[in-house]
Amino acid sequence: MRADARRNRAGIVAAARAAVAEGGGEVPLEQIASRAQVTARTLFRHFPTRDDLLAAVLDDYFAERVEPVLLRAAADPDPHRAMVTVLTESATAFVEHPGMLTLIDGGALTGGIATRYRRPLAEVLSRARLAGVVRADVTPDDFPCLVTMLVASARHAPGGWSRYLALLVDSLSPEAARTPLPPAGT
């Protein structure tokens, strides 16, 4: 890709990301093109559909905010702290930018992202299980739901969601596992 094409693509993603931060993913694409100082034709050449553009925005955000958290957690020798870091920092990323969570809520945009981040998350969780600091029936697929619950609590108790994080972390301990978790999706 030529330098000007890369610059246009980056500008479009940055403009779309700012628009999502302001009001979710429903901003008109023509407005994003205008903010990026490109024509609508240029925007559509890079992103043929709205979903293509929003997936790129979400991918950019995950690469900036979530991937470093997972890498830091994977390198942390303390499995409990690593797990808490993933929950805390992932929730913080979406508390600070709730528009990004609206993109995830649809699910269609997250397929590739979920696949890319599931493995490091599974490794952090596996280490925590082996160390006996997390209940055995928690799965990597539980984490996006847990983060969403934390973000929802932040909407209802701004500044106080750390209380719910502490409750959640305590509920993940093996000592809290009085009853097995039902299968996911039931």
Domain ranges across the chain: 1-48, 49-176
What's the pLDDT score for residue 106? 58
Domains 1-48 and 49-176 equal at CATH topology level: no
For the cut 70, the answer to whether the pLDDT of residue 107 exceeds it is: no
CA atoms of 168 and 116, how far apart (whole Å): 25
Top-level CATH class of 49-176?
mainly alpha
For the cut 90, the answer to whether the pLDDT of residue 148 exceeds it is: no
SS3 helix, strand, coil % of the chain, rounded to 5?
75, 0, 25
What's the pLDDT score for residue 111? 67
Q: 1-48 adopts what CATH topology?
A: Arc Repressor Mutant, subunit A (1.10.10)
CA atoms of 73 and 43, how far apart (whole Å): 36
Confidence of residue 12 (pLDDT cuts 50, 70, 90): very high
What's the pLDDT score for residue 116? 79
Confidence of residue 153 (pLDDT cuts 50, 70, 90): confident
83-89: average pLDDT: 93
For the cut 80, the answer to whether the pLDDT of residue 96 exceeds it is: yes
